[in-house]
Amino acid sequence: MTSFDLTPATTPAALSVGGLVDYIKAVLEDDPTLRQVWVVGEVSSANHHAKGLFFTLTDPDTGAAINAVAWRSQQARLTTLPTVGDQVIALGTVKVYPQRSSYQLTVWQVLPSGDGLKALRYRQLRQRLAAEGLFDPEFKRSLPALPQIIAVVSSPQAAAWGDIQRSLRHHHPGLHLLFSPATVQGDSAPDSIVAAMERVAADGRAEVLILARGGGASEDLECFDDERVVRAVADCPIPVVTGIGHQRDESLADLAADVCAHTPTAAAIAAVPALADLVDAHHQRVAQLKSLMADRLLDAHSDMHRLGQRLLRTRLDQRVQQQQQHLKQLQRRLVQGVQVELRQASDRTAALHRHLMTLDPDTVVRRGYALVRDDASQLVTQATATSPGQTLQIQLAQGHLTVQVTQIHPPPQ
């Protein structure tokens, strides 16, 4: 027999009904998992009301059920409206109603079960990767003009590998192919594809990588929508060409690739130009170059003929003779001009010489005049500049005199 001690010292504090319900409400509504939760179930009842659509989700295996509501303001955003008997996936949050001490799922979105959830996850992943720029055309790399080594990532048992080899042998024989095998279907495919691409990058010889798989059901191509594979394509150090499935198929790996060719054969053709096309292009360039050179030579001959005719019409010998005559005329004019200048300069020099001779004191003295100087050899031009008894020197045309002033006669007033 078990006994319980109900003394106040060991009994926990009692809660009111409201306190207990509030606690339950806080626990449920504050749980991060229950704030945004996906619930899969079968719609066992549905009731349209003015406020919204009230329905019940039931687990077919266990019989467990939960009430749910999609308010009228939210119904226009639902991908599908819950109908009795449908298998759906509902996204919502758990809400507690204290008055009834009950809870229900307030629904934001409803999708068909199975493919609906897969499509939603695909859209969410695509939007997230696009927001990171993995699909932006500006980040796409150009393929090498003439690669010599091409790596192929595919399954060794798949027809895609054989199609690529045949296409390249016919399209551009002589290329060096590196094959990196991978599983391209099933749960292990994403890790296998990533590892195969990493082997190509580590090897370092390839200039282009072809990621290929033949057609199949959409479920068989799901590995190429895996985030790991998409990031491996975007981060590959060399340009990537994808050839996955059929023409109508488009995976996230295709969006991240530098070139999307949709099929393995198209990928092989896109990775490298056709050798026959290169030969044809070379021949066309040679023919174009020859045509251009022939046109240039013809133009040069035409110019030379035209210039020859101009020379004949110009009569260079006459032009040279005319120029020589003109040069002789200029020479005569130059000599005459120099002679005139010399004569004029001689005349000016003679005139200056005569003028200077008239100003020469010796010339003046020879005409009967005399120069009077004081003891300091300074010329005396005024009688008042002397004094009685002063000795003066008088220079004559021939010889000079030393005289003494006896009387000063100032000029008349």
Q: 154: how many CB neighbours lie within 10 A of its CB?
A: 29
- Residue length, the chain? 413
Q: What is the pLDDT of residue 71?
A: 93
Please name the amino acid found at residue 189: A
Q: Which CATH number fits domain 17-113: 3.30.360.10, 2.40.50.140, 3.30.70.20, 3.50.50.60?
A: 2.40.50.140
Q: What is the pLDDT of residue 276?
A: 64
Q: What is the pLDDT of residue 12?
A: 62
> Where in the chain are all domains bearing CATH 2.40.50.140?
17-113
Report the SS3 class of residue 257: coil
Q: What is the pLDDT of residue 380?
A: 82
| DSSP designation for 379 | B
Rounded Cα distance between 227 and 124, Å, is: 11
Rounded Cα distance between 38 and 253, Å, is: 27
Architecture of domain 147-274: 3-Layer(aba) Sandwich (3.40)
> Where in the chain are all domains bearing CATH 3.40.50.2300?
147-274
Please name the amino acid found at residue 181: P
Which residues are registered as beta bridge partners of 402? Answer: 393
CB 380 within 8 Å of CB 386: yes
The single residue listed with the structure tokens 């896109």 is 270
Residues of the chain under the 70 pLDDT cut: 1-12, 114-120, 247-249, 274, 276-278, 362, 364-368, 413
CB 213 within 8 Å of CB 184: yes
Q: What is the pLDDT of residue 1?
A: 37
The CB-side HSE value for 210 (13 A sphere, CA atoms) comes to: 34
Cα dist from 86 to 40, 49, 81, 309, whole Å:
11, 19, 10, 99
Q: What is the pLDDT of residue 410?
A: 79
Q: What is the pLDDT of residue 69?
A: 95
Please name the amino acid found at residue 383: A
